[in-house]
Amino acid sequence: MAEAALLEIRGLGHEFDVSRPWLQRALRGERRRFLRAVDEVSFAIPRGQTLSLVGESGCGKSTIARLAVGLYRPSRGSIHFDGTGIVAGQAQPALRRRMNMIFQDPYASLNPRWRVSDIIAEPIRVFGLMKDRAQIAARVGGLLSQVGLTPADGTKFPHEFSGGQRQRISIARALSSEPEFLVCDEPTSALDVSVQAQILNLMKDLQARLGLTYLFISHNLAVVRHMSDQLGVMYLGRIVEMGPAEAIFAAPRHPYTRLLLEAIPSLSEPGRARVPVGGEVPSPIAPPPGCTFHPRCPLANARCRAEVPQPLTLQTAHGAVDIACHAVAEGRDRA
């Protein structure tokens, strides 16, 4: 029996209005312009698992992260958390307490005027989890110890810590409301490689101990390789390949996924030339017709330039993989 999904997203779409002010549009005779950040995205995350979304900057990953926790209102589609629909700004406190977010920049996300103990204690006070100061202080000290710091660090300010330590503080703050679900938006991209490994190991350990469910956002396939149970590859607002991480890393089928994996350095083949993804990401304000990847795809043909590919489910040794690609559907990727 399949595990129940803690987070379920169906047909999600979101546009940003990037139009000029009304008067300028009227004088220039322009229409309103919309940036399509997310388009027809669907997935589900079972309890205790990690689903990672990867792709180049601007593909819509961070928008999905903010939609998932109710910071943005979807233009269309639905988001359900443990069976309850999420609407931006209207989620009940009991529901909001069960989810939290770890942001990309650990310094920008921490109030520089507050001591660390106050930063971590804020969700506890807001959600009314504890009232007694001594209990709150003990809880804050326990959270700091849980993420590899000491209770004494609570008296310091964020600027007194390194980047990796600040991200540990961000994780402690995210855990202070006792959530079940964490959205991790590029949590290691601002850190050194050695510190990235420490933070990723910490997050894996916390997941195992606390039964956490993660939506992990990254542009780096190498980072998510050992974090993910499920993997979704995004391009210009759409998921082009989705399935078990082992299946995608073992045998990627979509041309975009192949090019991303091709760029990852390998210790087993240190001298092999790496081929980066060529070309530029098209504008999401005016995306190409058909498959949006076709201007950069080595397998594109006339159908790719005219028809939007629909997901095709393929069975692999590691589970089912959904791929939206005409070349895969026609078998041209195997030629």
Q: Read off the pLDDT of residues 204-233 as tens digits, 9 standing for 90 and up.
A: 999 999 999 999 999 888 788 888 999 999
Give the percent of the chain with pLDDT over 90. 62
Tell me how far apart the alpha carbons of residues 35 and 58 are, in angstroms, rounded to a whole number.
11
- Pairing state between β 34-46 and 50-54: unpaired
Q: Model-level pTM?
A: 0.89
Q: According to DSSP H, which parts of the chain are helical?
A: 22-28, 61-68, 93-96, 116-126, 133-146, 163-175, 193-210, 221-224, 245-250, 255-262, 302-306, 326-330
Tell me how far apart the alpha carbons of residues 267 and 319 are, in angstroms, rounded to a whole number.
27
Q: Which element (helix H / strand E) includes 150? A: none
Delimit the domains of the chain by residue range.
Answer: 254-263+286-335
Q: Tally the C-alpha atoms within 13 A of residue 312's C-alpha that lie toward its C-beta.
A: 14
pLDDT (tens digit per residue) in 97-143: 899 999 888 888 899 999 999 999 999 999 898 989 999 999 999 99
pLDDT (tens digit per residue) in 130-148: 989 999 999 999 999 999 9
Question: Who contacts 50 (Cβ-Cβ below 8 Å, separation ≥6)?
Answer: 207, 213, 214, 215, 216, 227, 228, 229, 230
pLDDT (tens digit per residue) in 174-185: 999 999 999 999
Contact 51, 5 (CB under 8 A): no
Note the pLDDT of residue 276. 63
Average pLDDT over residues 156-163: 93
Give me the sheet containing 5-17, strands edge to edge: 34-46, 5-17, 76-81, 84-85
Question: Who contacts 141 (Cβ-Cβ below 8 Å, separation ≥6)?
Answer: 151, 154
Note the pLDDT of residue 1. 38
Mean pLDDT of the chain: 89
Helix (H, G, I), strand (E, B) or coil at 172: helix
Q: Would you place residue 261 in the very low, low, confident or very high pLDDT band (cuts 50, 70, 90)?
A: confident
Tell me how far apart the alpha carbons of residues 111 and 95 are, in angstroms, rounded to a whole number.
24
Q: Would you place residue 157 in the very low, low, confident or very high pLDDT band (cuts 50, 70, 90)?
A: very high
